[in-house]
Amino acid sequence: MRKAGLELSDLSIAPRKAERQTGVASSAVASVTPPAADKVAAQMLPNPTETQRRETAEARAIAQEDARYSLKNLKRSKQRNVKFFINIALDYELKARLQRAAAENDLKMTAVVKAALDYYLTENGY
């Protein structure tokens, strides 16, 4: 069985809009632009040599590599601060007090525990 298909004659194509300007008007507009504009356009688009292209590509690659290394170093420094974890078994009453202290001071429970540990260690000379 053959599928029904569309042909070009089945489609209706709108006619093109007539140009509003005549050929005389378009040539007058073209003659108004000074020939100096062509020189300026040529100066705005430099045509670099192969060595200049290679130098800019190498400079761009070095800058991207430096950015990538600095980003890696930044991520590593952040990971060093959060490297050590402690699992502590708390009884229900202590955990409830910790939750209440965190909620009343708008802090996370980890911040409260870190502050308490720091206070304890400094008071005992560690």
| Residue 89: CATH number of its domain | 1.10.1220.10
CA distance 30 to 65: 48
Would you say residue 124 lies in a domain?
A: yes
- Same domain for 64 and 97? no
pLDDT of 49 strictly over 90: no
CA distance 52 to 19: 45
pLDDT of 93 strictly over 80: yes
- pTM given for the model: 0.36
Q: Per the structure block, which two tokens stand in for 68?
A: 């990538």
**Tally of structural domains, the chain:** 2
